[in-house]
Structure 1
Amino acid sequence: MIAFAAEAEADALKPSQRKAFYDAYAGRVDVDHHLNEYLTKAGLAEKTVNERRGLIGRFAQWCREKRVKLGRVDRRSAGRYVSEVIDPMHPATQTKHLSALRSYWKFLAQRGHVTLPQGVSLDMGWPWNGQQIEKRGKRVERGSRQETERPFTDDEVAALLDKPFPLNAEFEELMRDVLKISLLSGMRQAEVLTLWVEEVREGESGAGLVFDIQQGKTDAAARKVPVHPDLMEIVERRRRGKGGKEWLFHELADQPNPGDTYGKRFKRWREAVGVDDKREGVRRSLVNFHSARRWFATKADRAGIREAVIKDVIGHVPDKKNVTRASYIAASSGAQMRECVEAVKVG
């Protein structure tokens, strides 16, 4: 029945369109041929859309280099890609990459764009299911403790904010404004970069002006973060003369992936001013933009703010083991969250 329906649909097309139709039906198209359709209908947050476009696009480019079309992607070619590209990644990145590919393949299977082996269900994400190898922890020997990413030190924050800006001068205002907001709010990079003007508004009693974050990576990410007094000049300057749906950071509005653009510039900036921490055997530097968020949480903790309030400000899910906190105690008030934010000072 599917074949008959495909023939009927093809007969309705112009001769010049039929080859493209049959190529798509037979899988003789590039891996990312249906990517825009998938991203449009998946109902994902903007950050996730950009992230998945990059991850799936990376596999599509690998397939182009190997001359593998969509219909030829099978368990063996998927396994080869995992071995060559995904296995060397950090486990968290592996999971994210494979999740994107599984989700795309579920969509392709459900739409009939790929043919599954007999007995494989549409929702398995074949051929990507079961590809990630579980990495079990090794015995920790004396002196071999695994180093983890960390907050900035105060000296590193000073270097970023006070040393002459080493990149193109036209980027300076944007780069410094984004970093300051994260340092004084604990907001994630993507949360800062994608703020609309109308998402800076008056909060509930005691909260004052807030960043109204309405979506994110977890349910707890949607929250209202009080605007620190030291950020008022930045906020007012960036809201001036703009409509509600315009970006606070308009410089990145036309970028296909604002986070990637900012992140690459930030890496060059911090390395140029000596803010780096590479360790033997560790792929990434132990400091990155997320270190600003860690610095904020650390400073709030040192100022005596309760952990539960800090979690509400930075958008962390309450500990599920703490049933009382997770299920019975209401979220922190606007006044409590403002107290947390104002307890943190730069300089």
Structure 2
Amino acid sequence: MADDKKYLEMHHNQWRVRVRIPEKVRHLFDNKLYLRQTLGTGNLKTANLLKGEHVSRFKRMIAEAVASVSPDATVWEEARVLRNRYSQAAPEERDDLLYEMIHRAEELSKGESTHLAKPFVSAAQGTSIPINDYLDAYIEDTAYRPKSASDLKRVMGWLEEWMMRKRLPPTLDSVTQPVAGDFMRYMVNTRSLSRKAASKYLSFVRGYWVWLEEHGHRPRNSSPWLGRLPKAKPPPRGTVLEPDEGKRPFTDDEVLRLLTGNPNSPHMVDLMTIAALSGMRIEECYLLRVQDTANGIFSIRAGKTVNAVRRVPIHSALEATVARLSEGKDALDYLIDPQAELLEKTDLRSQAASKAFGHYRRGLGIDERPNGKRQSNVDFHSFRRWFHAKARDALNAGAQGFTAWTLSELVGHGTKDAGPLELTMKTYPGKSPIAALKACVEAVQLPNEAKS
């Protein structure tokens, strides 16, 4: 029926699918109560036409999660405990433990878990190693940031749960090339990850396997993760899709509405203005301390990449803002939102601000999700993209005092694919003079109405 609202809820003037997650498997979905998918439409009739595939996909994911918390999961935990006891036991105690393993395997062979009997003994004796056993050592060796470590553990958790649902022992030697290929199809087709997101997670898994080989835990050149991700299924013939050019800068009108609006957060306008007139990432803005604004320059001391460490002259339109934010603070105090704490799980200060900005932006109707895509094409990073666009447009219009290489340095982008020009334009001449960086920054101007 056109007015059927089952599995639907209205959110920021758009319908989205909502399917409740059973309590016993919520821990497998980051403790969420519901799975949700924005449909990109405010029309109820259209939402009912679009919701079916997402409801089916969510129910399939929940069913698989329920299956994964079967007795199989307990069996592998038993094997892990026995293996630890076996490895630490004195020689005279190992016969008793071996008998205990065999007895447990005989019990398994008489029930519905017959397929687990032999793998259980192998895992308990240590001849087969569970896929996550070396994960902490790998994370320590690679010095992953907390967010990256969380992403790695997430995808390895998916792999372990998926293998148990497939009645495969979640051990390293069970991950063959066909198994790896099936899991990649699962990520794209069942979890409906974008190819970009799936590629990110797959890169973590590949890196882990390389480390396993380098440390002798797997044979050399044996990684099963050599295949390519499957292509996403095309829409049915006759489907009319909205144009989607991906992530984009804000328009001048959107920047104006954001800067002249009335956000709940007292820090939001300052944060947005600094980002728009510096090209800095949100976390870079949040990591600025008062001492990092000396001599009219933002000194970015840490960031997403090596190139993120850089100098950004303070725009003339920001001088009063920076002075106000610095007033009464010590040199080591944070410039923006000094009460915000560094979150241990993600190693970020800006996470709450990023979420608050999302609510504020959507409340103003600034959102773009063509064809019901999960992530909006505009987000806080769109300020950074807007800065890029304005500096480029000024350069194309004849602005003097800086070049495209200056812009690249100013925003902290690498130029690994620039070829010999990087040596000529960047490596040999060294860093750009402050005057050039200042000219690039000043070439970017806020929309007129926002300046007041």
TM-score computed with the length of structure 2 as normaliser: 0.56
* Counterpart pick for 1:154 among 247, 252, 262: 252
1:17-166 equivalences in 2 (<5 Å): 25=126, 29=130, 31-44=131-144, 46=145, 49-61=146-158, 63-64=160-161, 67=164, 69-71=170-172, 73-75=174-176, 76-86=178-188, 88-111=192-215, 116=218, 120-121=219-220, 126-133=223-230, 147-165=245-263
Report the Cα offset of residue 28 of structure 1.
Answer: 6.0
Is 1:272 aligned to 2:363, yes or no? yes
| Distance across 1 between alignment mates of 2:369 and 2:412 | 28
Task: Name the SS of the counterpart of 1:157 in structure 2.
Answer: helix
C-alpha offsets along residues 138-172 of structure 1, whole Å, 9 cap, x if unaligned?
xxxxx99762322101211122222222xxx4xx1
Q: Which runs of 5+ in 2 are unaligned?
A: 1-83, 102-122, 233-240
Which residue of the partner structure matches residue 220 of structure 1?
307
Is 1:332 aligned to 2:451, yes or no? no
Q: Which runs of 5+ in 1 are unaligned?
A: 1-5, 136-142
- The 8 Å contact of residues 199 and 213 in structure 1, kept in 2 or not, is answered as no
Change (3 A) 1:228 1:260: same
Report the Cα offset of residue 223 of structure 1.
Answer: 1.4
1:199-238 equivalences in 2 (<5 Å): 200-202=292-294, 208-217=296-305, 219-232=306-319, 233-234=321-322, 237=325
Report the Cα offset of residue 295 of structure 1.
Answer: 0.7
Change (3 A) 1:212 1:154: same
Letter in 2 for 1:320: A
Report the Cα offset of residue 26 of structure 1.
Answer: 5.0
Report the Cα offset of residue 275 of structure 1.
Answer: 0.8
- The 8 Å contact of residues 278 and 286 in structure 1, kept in 2 or not, is answered as yes
Which residue of the partner structure matches residue 317 of structure 1?
414
Task: Name the SS of the counterpart of 1:200 in structure 2.
Answer: helix
- Identical-residue share of aligned pairs (%): 25
Report the Cα offset of residue 83 of structure 1.
Answer: 1.0
Report the Cα offset of residue 327 of structure 1.
Answer: 4.6
Letter in 1 for 2:276: L
- The 8 Å contact of residues 215 and 221 in structure 1, kept in 2 or not, is answered as yes
| Distance across 2 between alignment mates of 1:173 and 1:12 | 63
- The 8 Å contact of residues 211 and 227 in structure 1, kept in 2 or not, is answered as no
Which residue of the partner structure matches residue 291 of structure 1?
382
TM-score computed with the length of structure 1 as normaliser: 0.71
Task: Name the SS of the counterpart of 1:94 in structure 2.
Answer: helix
Is 1:10 aligned to 2:95, yes or no? no
Aligned length: 308
Is 1:184 aligned to 2:277, yes or no? yes
- The 8 Å contact of residues 250 and 378 in structure 2, kept in 1 or not, is answered as yes
| Distance across 2 between alignment mates of 1:255 and 1:247 | 20
Report the Cα offset of residue 50 of structure 1.
Answer: 1.3
Report the Cα offset of residue 70 of structure 1.
Answer: 4.2
Higher RCO (Cα < 8 Å, 6 or more apart)? 1
Report the Cα offset of residue 340 of structure 1.
Answer: 1.9
| Distance across 2 between alignment mates of 1:12 and 1:227 | 67
Change (3 A) 1:244 1:60: same
| Distance across 2 between alignment mates of 1:32 and 1:238 | 47
Structure 1 range deviating more: 271-280 or 222-231: 222-231
C-alpha offsets along residues 268-318 of structure 1, whole Å, 9 cap, x if unaligned?
321121111222386543222221111111222333253222222111234
C-alpha offsets along residues 9-51 of structure 1, whole Å, 9 cap, x if unaligned?
63479x9xx99xx85945565x55543332222134x3xx413
| Distance across 2 between alignment mates of 1:277 and 1:197 | 34
Letter in 2 for 1:149: K
Task: Name the SS of the counterpart of 1:268 in structure 2.
Answer: helix
| Distance across 2 between alignment mates of 1:238 and 1:23 | 60
| Distance across 1 between alignment mates of 2:380 and 2:90 | 53
Change (3 A) 1:180 1:53: same
Letter in 1 for 2:418: K
CA-atom RMSD, angstroms? 4.0
| Distance across 1 between alignment mates of 2:327 and 2:215 | 44
Is 1:306 aligned to 2:384, yes or no? no
| Distance across 1 between alignment mates of 2:230 and 2:155 | 20
